[in-house]
Structure 1
Amino acid sequence: MKNKELAIVTLKNEAAKIYSRQIKDFLGNNIKIKIYAFENGEIEFIKEKLVLLSTYLKYDEVKKHTCDDAQIIIPRITLTKSSVDKVKKIEKGKDVLLFNLSLDMSLETISLIYQLGIDHINLIPCYPEMKKLPDVNIAITPGETALIRDKVKEVIDIGHRVLDLSTIVDVAVKLNLDYLIGDEKTQRYFKNTITNSCALEKLLGETNKLENQFDILMKVLDDGIVCTNIKGIVYFYSHIARKIINIDENEMVGRYIGEYINGTNFDEIINKKQSLDGKLIKINGRDVSLEVKYVKFNNFDGFIIKLKTFSYLEKKQTKLRAQLLKKGHVSKYTFDDIIGTSEEINKTKEIAKRMAKSNSSILIIGETGTGKELFAQAIHNESYRKKGPFVAINCGAFQESLLQSELFGYEEGSFTGAKKGGKLGLFEIAHNGTLFLDEIGEMDLNLQAKLLRVIQEKQVRRLGSDRLIDIDVRIIAATNRQLKELVKEKKFRKDLYFRLNVLPLDIKPLRERKEDIIPILKDIKKSLKSKFSLSDEVENVFLNYNWEGNVRELKNIIEYLANLDEKTIQFDHLPKYMVEDTDCVQSVDVKESEFKRNKSDYIFVLNELKKAYENKERIGRKKIYDIAVNKGIFLSEQEIRSILLELNELGLIQVLKGRGGSVINEYGLKFLENNKMG
């Protein structure tokens, strides 16, 4: 489109430059402006057909230098809101000088200030030719501070006057550039200036409100939107469309849409008033989805074009797929959630962190309840795939046919009972993310072969389909079985084993890292908001319990104890199955040589402690001494004290502090059972 021309004629160059910048800010490269200023000397012939003349005082003179058909606009002038705010701060009733280039211009500026509703001060016109300056200490000037004499104490520079928005609209309309007036710059200009037209202010205020609402709508839409008239001339496009096409803010406005979007026949679409449901085209080397809708509604008759980058569509589709599944697509845990202080767990975490940086398959080996999925999620969140989906499935929970449809998906009608529209497979859902295959050792051999092919080819085919779908998925598998032994027994494919076991990760059972038991226990208590404590005896049992269910079993027991609502957990509070587990009490092998006195004396004390334990009583050396006297056993109180200390050292009892007495533990009970004396 050819540039439209405008002449700006002012008294001084600076004012012309300000007006030019304002108009250019709206109309951009669509307009060509030439500046004429009287301070430069005689005005030459003005060839432009539209002239903006800053003052009526020069109208006759300028008219002589223009074409007969030229239009001269005398602009409406206003002030910025920040300038007006400066004037409003002046004390009410004050006399204030108004300095400008001439008496007429000074009076013109005073009139403007009064028109803008500022009438709380008395403005006195001043100009350079004045013989005597009024005795006033404060002055206002629109950018002419050099004119003010030194004896004025306070000078307020309100800056050069600016064009009222109505003038800019007038220029745009006369040059057929009015389609640019709906731009956000118009809204911003309206907010920053004071208009002296009440009608325009109301109109623009409503328009501004609607523009804001429309702009908000465009910003929340993910699509790039382009609107054209019936001839395909663009009059609006959203910021997303601007980014996709890679153009400036107003570059495409007023131009034919086909100049900017190739790969489709816009001439045919526009001539036939057609719509285009969807087409993949190239814009700046990127795949873009294009839709065109012909719309005729009220005063609108034209086309609405939607643009969306294909990569964005693909990413969004992946997220939507995961949401449709409503499970296994979010990775919540990081390595910080793996609690433990033992050397074994810290070493395992360090190895796993290094594995996370790779894209190779990982095989996690560990007993039930050791936290294999926790590690898998942490690895995902440490990898470059962390923004992608994390999809988990337990291979041991499905029959072969059902597991196959879960992993690979199926087309509509592929088998009896298939859902209408088919179903996405987990491999598709996990695209650009991680697929966690738990209990991989339970997978059927036939399905193992299909899984191996998908991993090797990086393509998946839904059941009932002949179409291959490209996938980019990292596999993390887990098992509590010895896959190597299953391979020997021909129950697991050797080639799949080696494909999965690229990066093996072994998680030790809880009983082999006892230092982690108490920290994990505290963390579980915190999550349950429980504040109970363990007695020393119970803590000792926890440290020596077999924990066949590992962390999962520990969590179950903590949850059980939390519901007892006890401040301190004693031995008799423990679940029966835990107490009855013989592995929770280590074998007690106390040799005769370890006793400093007759073995029967120790048996006597242990028996009394056992009776007290069964009666849920506390017993100390004085009470044991009284019992010994009644039974005719010759032990002094001091000797009983020594026996108690020795039994404590041997780990058969616990001597409590203060007056808590002494308590027999499971080791002591076991010792008594093994040394019955009748």
Structure 2
Amino acid sequence: MTKKQISIIALDPRAGQSYGADVRSLFGDVAEITIYAVADGTVTGRLPYSDLFVVSTDAFPSAEALASHIPPQCPTMAVQASFKHSELERLKTLPSGEKILFVNMTHTMAREAIAQLEQFGINHVQWVPFYPHAVLDDPTIRIGVTPDEMRYMPAGIETTIDIGQRVCTSGMMIEIALRLNLEHLLKTPPFVAYFQSVATNNYSFDKLFDRSFRLASQFHILMDSLSDGVIAVDERGIVFASNHQAQDITHLNVEQVEGQPYSQHFPYIPFGECLQQQTKIPVKVIKVNGTPLNVEVVPILREGTCMGAFAILQRFDDMEDRQTQLRSQLFHKGHYAKYGFEDVIGTSAAMEHTKTVLRRMAQSESPVLLIGETGTGKELFAHAVHRASRRSAGPFVAINVAAVPENLLESQLFGYEDGAFTGAKKGGSPGLFEFSHRGTLFLDEVEGMSMALQVKLLRALQEREVMRVGGNRIIQINVRIIATTNESLEEKIQQGTFRRDLYYRLCTLPALIPPLTQRGEDLMLIMEHFKQELGATFTLSPEVSGFFHRYRWPGNIRELRNVVEYLVYTGQSVITMDDLPPR
């Protein structure tokens, strides 16, 4: 039998290896498991085909970013992590009431893990999150716990407990088996042992799983959908399970409905149509007790036999709140520098000098102003400076100042409070200064900022504090600024469109990015890189090669890439002057 292909994508390589080991322990005999990590650069371009991609929620900043790496038609699912029972038992022995440091890669990850521990009943201690660049200001803390992140444990902690990487949940393993038509594995001893070793906050999972293998498919749905209402029926339409969320939505207790036909209690759910046609019933909008719901019904099929069906119920309000939370998580986790100095192509003296200077500047905490013509790669260098700085573990938040309208730019940079303006999100929103705390804020084309916002920016840089639009609370920030400009700020000062005091604040460490015309043979190195990227095989005639070296390249590297892409579509193996773009 041909082995299935399972690809695991995580943000951190160590987490990816841990998830891969869990999956391999159960599916290694029937599937090839490939591990990718965004942080180590193994996720580049379109990845090879796989029967299933299992992706951690922090790996990509958006669904679009994920889709750019996944081959068409390849299914994806999310990594779900939990703790082993044995590790939870260790933590139950911690001294009651003690302050315990929980050390993880980021503040968000530390808070998420703490919340999960408290759900599992480990709430007899006071958890204190700790992460890279955090400050331990409580000398009484003597115990530290970490999920295999001892590298971030602060010095001076007397007792350290490494509980190991979080493990994949039972529900996740069941979903993998069902998606790959490997449900026959669910009754094997390795799966049963794994299920018994991993903690779950679903009180009914073990009870339902022990009833029979025949109900295994329904169990994984209950596990994975506990945030929604779930009602399950067998092939005769008899209700055998429903979760707390479903009971809350329908106001019916499980004891009232189990063992009875669905039509007595849920006539509005199209179970009959689903069981008869053995096909999924798309989402429908219904009202239950005056509350609008989304209802979807899916059949449970095994070896061509319909074993039952389940319905997923979602309140509109709950669904919107969940989407808001997910977008917030993605917004937090998507801010990181993608490029380093090793990604800068070129060996010319001008470029080597620029890289040397910027590597030194990266070690400073002062603002950096990158000056250069359009298309010279200023943003790439901004990423590289952050990656080489002491803030590399912190966020890298970028915004093109010139591309955002003034009335929107202020709220994006400084945030806003509830009701600050018409259309403001309920509860307000943090600004980019807050999101880039302990990291870097990259202001692209800073010359496009209005005089009014220049005053607010100057104050933020001088006082290291911001105030949200419509607010009255001072928020302390610790942010390094990297700005770029392709215009002469000195001339703008003379014209009265740029503040002199802000200029001197931003221009503490100025760096000139050389144009393509000053980079000699870097031109051909960069062109070869673009040819490989675009799959081009053409060569240049001597006449064209000489012309390229004489040409001014006003658009610099961006223009060069456009030209290479144009030449790809000429279909010529040797490019002559007649093949060049009309301009």
With the length of structure 2 as denominator, give the TM-score of the two structures.
Answer: 0.48
Structure with greater Cα Rg: 1
